[in-house]
Amino acid sequence: MAKDESYLIKPLLDRNYPCVSYGKGAALYDMDGKRYLDACSGAVTASIGHGVDEVVQAMYEQARKVSFVYRSQFTNEPAERLAMKLAEQLPGQLNHSFFVNSGSEATETAIKISIQYWQERGRPEKTLILSRWMSYHGITQGALSLSGHYERRQRFEGMLDRLPFLSPPYPYRQVREMSGVDYAEELDHLIEQIGPHRIAAFIAEPIVGAAGTALVPGEWYYEALKQVLDQHDILFICDEVMTGMGRTGKDLAIEHWDATPDIVTLGKGLSAGYAPLAATVVADHVLEPIQAGSNLIMSGHTFSANPLSCAAGLAVLHYVKKHDLVKRAATIGEKLIEDLQEIQTASAIVGDVRGKGLLIGLEFVKNKATKAPFPKDAQVAAVIVNEAQRQGLLLYPSAAGLKGEGAGCLIAPPFTLTKEERCELLGKLARTLERVEKQLLG
C-alpha cells in the first residue's frame, strides 16, 4: 500500500509498509507472496507461531456463543477458566487474575492495585512506585512514568512523574563487577532517600527486553532486592509482559531466581497475538485486604476479561502445554545462542550476545574492542532491521547503553521454530550483517 494512498496512521509516516496476506508457523507472507521468517514473533508476541488451527477454532466457537459481555453485568466461562489455569500454573500464591487488553494497561492496573492494597492496610501515604533505568513498562502515562527508556520518554518528559531510577544490571557495560548485594545496597539507599513510608511497590522486568536488549541479571540479584523490599514493606511487581508464559524457558522469567513477586503482569505471549489480552495477576495476600475492605478494584476497561480474547488465551495455554513448548524454548534457545555467538565472532559490529531461552539480544557497536556505540544519527538498529526485512527476516529493534546511546535487536522466534527455520534465520542474519557492515564501516 503506497503511503500517499493510505488513510491509516502507521509508526513511520513516510514509509511504505508491506501489507501482510497471511501467516503460517514462523512465517508471514505479504500480498506479493514474499516470505518473511518471523524471528521476533512480531513484538515478541506470536510465541506459538501464526495460523494455529486449534486456536482459531476455539475463537470461532466462542464467537458463535458470545464475543462481548460487560464485566459489571456478567462473568464468562473462558475468563474464569483462564484465571483458574493461571492460578494452577504460576508459582507461589499468584492466584487472582485481572484481564485487560495490553501490557500498558496491565502495568496501570498493577500500580492501582498496589496503592489500593496499602490504603486498605491503613497506609494511604504509600503511593510511589520505584523502577530502574533501561526499563519499559508501557506507553500510557503511569506506565511510561515508570519506564527508564530515554527515547520513549523524551517528548513527554514534562507530563511524566519522575522518581530517581535504580541502575539496571548490565554486565556488558559495567565499569566494575556488580553483585546482587551491590544492587540491593543501591536500592536500600534509594528507598531511604525517598522514604519507605511513601513507597508502595518496586517494578522490574526480570530480564529487560526492549529497553536493554535482553539483559539477564546475575545469580542472587532478585533474592537480594526482594530482601530489601520486604524489610521496607514494599511490594514487588514483576513485569513479565515480554518474558512471561514460557519465553525464557520457564513459565515466568523470575522463576530463574528464588524470589516470588507479589504481583505479576502478563501480555504478549498470553494470547500469542491471537487477540488483545494481558493480565495483572495478584497474590492472595495482596487481594485479601482489598476484599476485606472496600471490596472493589478501582480499575478496568470496557474490554476487560473479554470472552473472545480469553478463549484465545486458554487455547494458547493448552497448545503450549500439549506440545511441551516451554521446555522447547529453553533447549532451542540454548542452541540458538551458541549459533549467534559464532555469528558474533565473525561480525565486526555484534559486540554482545545475551539472553535466556528464546529472548535473545544482539548489541551492536562501532568498535568491538572499545565497545563504542555507533553515533545515534546512524540509526544502526533501524538500518539492520530494515535490511533484514528486505532479506525476508523480521527482527525487533531495541535500545542499549546506560543512557539509551546504544542499539541492538531482539531475536525471539516462536517456540515452534524448526531446525530448517533456525538455519534460515542464521543465514539471513549473516547476510544482513555482512551488507550493513559494508555500508557502515566501508
The contact set with ligand PLP (CB under 6 A) reads: 43, 102-104, 107, 136-139, 205, 209-210, 239, 241-242, 267
Q: 131 or 347: whose CB is closer to ligand PLP?
A: 131
Q: 272 or 426: whose CB is closer to ligand PLP?
A: 272
- Rounded to a whole number of angstroms, the minimum distance from the CB of residue 401 to ligand PLP is 18
- Rounded to a whole number of angstroms, the minimum distance from the CB of residue 426 to ligand PLP is 25
Residue nearest to ligand PLP (CB): 103
Q: 104 or 109: whose CB is closer to ligand PLP?
A: 104
Q: 204 or 436: whose CB is closer to ligand PLP?
A: 204
Q: 134 or 436: whose CB is closer to ligand PLP?
A: 134
Q: CA-CA distance, 326 to 245, in Å (whole number)?
A: 8
- Rounded to a whole number of angstroms, the minimum distance from the CB of residue 97 to ligand PLP is 16
- Rounded to a whole number of angstroms, the minimum distance from the CB of residue 240 to ligand PLP is 8
- Rounded to a whole number of angstroms, the minimum distance from the CB of residue 228 to ligand PLP is 22
- Rounded to a whole number of angstroms, the minimum distance from the CB of residue 366 to ligand PLP is 27
Q: 137 or 356: whose CB is closer to ligand PLP?
A: 137
